Amino acid sequence: MSKILSVVLFLAAIAVYSFKAGRNKFWFSLILLLLSLFIILNATLFASNYFTGEGINDAVLYTLTNSLTGAGVSKYVVPAIGLIIGLFLLFYLLSWLLRRRKRPHHLGWSLLAMACAAGSVQTTPAFRQVKDLIASHAQLADSDFENYYKTPNKVIANPKLNLVYIYGESLERTYFDQQAFPGLAPELSREKDQSIDFSETEQLPGTDYTIAGMVASQCGIPLFAPFDGNASASLSSFYPQNICLGDILKNSGYENWFIQGADLRFAGKDTFLLSHGFSPTHMYGSQELQSRVADPSYRNNWGYYDDTVMDEVFEKYEELSRQQKRFALFTLTVDTHHPDGFISRSCQRKSYSYDGKPNQSFSAVACSQEHVARLIERIKASPWFKNTIIVVSSDHLAMNNTAHQYLIKQPRRDLFMVIRGDQPQAEVLEGKRSTLDNGATVLDILGGDNAIGLGRSGLSSNSLSTQFADMAQKVTAWKADIIQLWNFPKKLYAFTIDQQKNTFNFSGSTFKLPILFRINKDHVEPLPEGEYSAPLRYQLADFTASDKFVWVDRCFKMGRLWQPDLALSTDLCLAMGQMGAKPSVTRIDKPLWKGKANFPQSEVSAATYQLNEQKIRVEDNAIRYKADSFLLTVPGAPESVKSFKGISRPESWGRWSNANLAPEVNIEYVDPLPARFDVVITARAFGPNAHRPIPVRVGDEEQMLNLGDDFSTTTLHFSNPQGSHNLTIAPPEPLLSNEGNITGQDPRKLGIGMVDIKIIPQPQN
């Protein structure tokens, strides 16, 4: 009902202002702002619902403020472009409608139009979701949280069993309903029928996306990250005060392993695991598996297919079992990831039809469950199964995939089943519970405690879901208490920058570099940088003139703004100050550098703020610096260069040519190149371009550049009688590669890697 009302008020505001209010710049701007806010809120709701199926929730907030490294983004490019184009057209149409009639301004009609516009914003479901999300983070702590939060014993007294824990991506129990989806998962259904099947496992707020589901199952708490900024993304620890399943296993002599096909860094999974009992050498993601798998090129948008990963898991199971080690082996599938999943090449059934037509998401489930079932069968057939328990659980309910419209018609539950090698048992336990109880149940079976955090064992205790009429509401009421578990500092005084560890430390907390902090009274807001989030300088541009900040990053990023002598330095620098004044910039000249957050009294001015903001927002390729050569290790180009094409982003060593951007590297100089000159190039070749002639052209003249696999410096001699402005480099065989690529992005066509290009004029004969 509120959705219809908000749309009616939105249209009424347009009609009243357009036909009755007349023209007035102030009222036009105000009405346009409110109506644009309505559109943006609903676009955000639409985009969020595309991923979650539940609109704007903690999953959206956490994912957007955390590392997106490794996200399979290519399937979302077309919808994103479509959304952007649609928004642009809507704003254009809205502006045209509001201004199309020329008539004298009428205050009363403008007030009515504004009231309708404000009402449309307030009544839209998107506004309510955002308001509730903000309120849930701002509320005071609930005093009874401590009565229900349990810290488990840190050690299992007499551990005997090994653990294989399989997280099925979006693999909810609903898929196993034979009446709703007949024959969808026959192999894994057979295994479920021989297991302890916890049939009433519900999903609670803060447990409804992968990393949140992992935290819930291992720590017994929902994942509620600090709302003020992106604290969870920048902290190098994850719920540091909590004792989780991985900590207990490690303390009990278990060797913890985690294997998945996707990138470990996505959403901070690596940080979580490292914080709770896992060694970095015992964690395999897409990067680590690349050198281990038989076919490194056999992968999907997110990483390696489930058949590859399940084979790796079994090999590791055999290896650890033969070594007679006590171990816990965790894995996570990926082929059933929304929006429609992936079909691996080794599946027996590659298609599943529903309503008379093939459905990709159902097909991915049918395929992936084969691989999970096969892993279970191989473990059960091994001589070590009698000392093993196997757990299969959802990481969360399926999000908005192509099967979602059929799933929501069913009573939905998460999958959680346990297969015991020591005491085979087939039983369906129908007690009400949640994924918070999973870790405690596993710990109980292994001989440890029967409670972790808010979780309780389903075998020897009562779930909190049975104690409260609405467990979801209770968990939401505890959100502030749970956020406090991050132990996030409120003040920033003295700090330490560790260049070797690439960290920033203060008040007992450690943050990854680069990092930007907004400093206010009794409030420190960390703003990290990820491959898919805005660079820190763009985030800084959104600060107010008086906001204090501490920024640690490469010198050239801040040097060109406030310290010209550091504008080309790739060292680490510290900037402190305010956007409305001139901040200080200091080069970090020691491996372990100690400093204090000092903000001397300085005059904040609007003019200075505007100048700083303008300089900060300059795009990388538009940056120009003073230098006598093209330095490819920093963004932009020297002032002598007008434009350039076919060159990828800067990396620590330089930049690749990228034929996806342009077929050749072309550098256009502001002035004509000299009549006679040398080109001095420091570069290396990639792949088949090594030791092959690489044409370098200026006007009608062409010279050949020969490069090997290692960096070398070559001088080429040119004459330029025609006064050409362009230098062109044409690698003969650009090759698609993920070398140095941002995981999750499409491969680049690499030709040569360039460090420096210098033009040296020569005297004419």
CATH number of the domain within which 738 lies:
2.60.120.430
By C-alpha distance, which of 618, 634, 614 is closest to 626? 634
The pLDDT tens digits of the residues spanning 179-225 come to 999 999 999 999 999 999 999 999 999 998 899 999 999 999 999 87
Does residue 161 fall inside a structural domain? no
Question: Can you give the pLDDT at residue 455?
Answer: 97
Evaluate if residue 501 carries a pLDDT over 50: yes
What secondary structure, in 3-state letters, does 641-705 show?
A: EEEEECECCCCCCCEEEECCCCCCEEEEECCCCCCEEEEEEEEEECHHHCCCCEEEEECCEEEEE
The whole-number pLDDT of residue 662 equals 96
Question: Above pLDDT 70, what percent of the chain?
Answer: 82
Query: Which of 451, 484, 517 finishes a domain?
Result: 484
Q: Tell me, yes or no, whether 609 and 643 share the same domain.
A: no
92 and 221 belong to one structural domain: no
If asked whether residues 428 and 569 sit together in one domain, one would say: no
Per-residue pLDDT, 534: 72
pLDDT at 621: 94
Can you tell me which residue has the tokens 């291992």?
218
- Within a domain: 228: yes
Is residue 22 predicted with pLDDT exceeding 70? no
For the record, the structure tokens of 694 come out as: 């690489």
Instruction: Kindly state whether residue 157 falls inside one of the protein's structural domains.
Output: no
Half-sphere exposure of 706 (CA within 13 A, CB side): 3
What CATH number did the domain enclosing 222 receive?
3.40.720.10
Q: With respect to residue 406, please indicate whether it lies within any of the assigned structural domains.
A: yes
Same domain as 334, residue 190: yes
Q: Which residue has the higher pLDDT, 197 or 108?
A: 197
Nearest to 414 by CA among 263, 247, 192: 192
Q: In what order do the strands lie in the sheet with 694-698?
A: 641-645, 665-669, 726-729, 694-698, 701-705
Higher-confidence position of 93 and 411: 411
State the amino acid at position 195 in one-letter form.
Answer: S
Mean pLDDT of 683-705: 96
- The pLDDT assigned to 315 comes to 97
Looking at residue 488, what is its pLDDT? 78
Can you give the pLDDT at residue 46? Answer: 63
- Mean of pLDDT values over 43-53: 61
Cβ atoms < 10 Å from Cβ of 741: 15
What pTM was estimated for this model as a whole? 0.65
Torsion of CA 367, 368, 373, 379, to 10 degrees: 130
Among 450, 484, 518, where does a domain finish?
484
Q: Give the Cβ contact number of residue 297 at 10 Å.
A: 9
Q: Could you tell me which residues come within 8 angstroms of residue 294 by beta carbon, excluding any fewer than 6 positions away?
A: 308
Q: Residue 128: is its pLDDT beyond 90?
A: no
Rounded mean pLDDT of 632-647?
97
Tokens, residue 573: 């620098």
How far is the first Cα of the chain from the last one, in angstroms, to the nearest whole number? 85
Residue type, 168: G
Task: Place 233 in a pLDDT band, splitting at 50, 70 and 90.
Answer: very low
Q: Is residue 411 part of a domain?
A: yes
Helices (H), 290-359: 306-322
The pLDDT value recorded for residue 609 is 95
Angle ∠(361,363,369) on CA atoms, nearest 5: 100
pLDDT at res. 372: 98
Mean pLDDT of the residues in the chain: 87
- How far apart, in whole angstroms, are the C-alpha atoms of residue 559 and residue 568? 8
- pLDDT category at 140 given cuts 50, 70, 90 is low
Q: What is the mean pLDDT of residues 407-428?
A: 96
Q: Which of 434, 463, 484 is the last residue of a domain?
A: 484
Query: What average pLDDT does the segment 530-550 reach?
Result: 83
| Domain interval for residue 391 | 167-484
Whether pLDDT at 230 is above 50: no
pLDDT at position 75 is 53
Query: Do residues 585 and 555 lie in contact, with contact meaning Cβ atoms separated by under 8 Å?
Result: yes
Q: How many domains, in total, are found in the chain? A: 4
Of 60 and 297, more confident: 297
- For residues 652 and 709, membership in a common domain is answered with yes
- Higher-confidence residue of 417 and 72: namely 417
Regarding whether 412 and 342 lie in a shared domain, the answer is yes
**154 domain residue, yes or no:** no
The residue that leads in pLDDT, 158 or 126, is 158
Same domain, residue pair 173 and 131: no
Give residue for tokens 């999943």. Answer: 341
Report CA-CA distances (Å) from 231 to 353, 370, 517, 539, 672.
44, 39, 10, 15, 50
User: In this predicted model, what pLDDT tens digit does every residue of 326-370 receive, in sequence order?
Assistant: 999 999 999 999 888 999 999 999 999 998 899 999 999 999 999
Does residue 38 fall inside a structural domain? yes
> Do 368 and 396 sit in the same domain of this protein?
yes
Q: Is 253 found in the same domain as 211?
A: yes
Asked if residue 392 belongs to a domain, the reply is yes
Between 31 and 454, residue with greater pLDDT:
454
Residue 599 and residue 629 share a domain:
no
Per-residue pLDDT averaged across 119-136, rounded?
68
Per-residue pLDDT of 363-397, as tens digits, reads 999 999 999 999 999 999 999 999 999 999 999 99
Co-location of 574 and 646 in the same domain: no
- pLDDT (tens digit per residue) in 450-485: 999 999 999 999 999 999 999 999 999 998 889 888
Do 588 and 629 share a domain, yes or no?
no
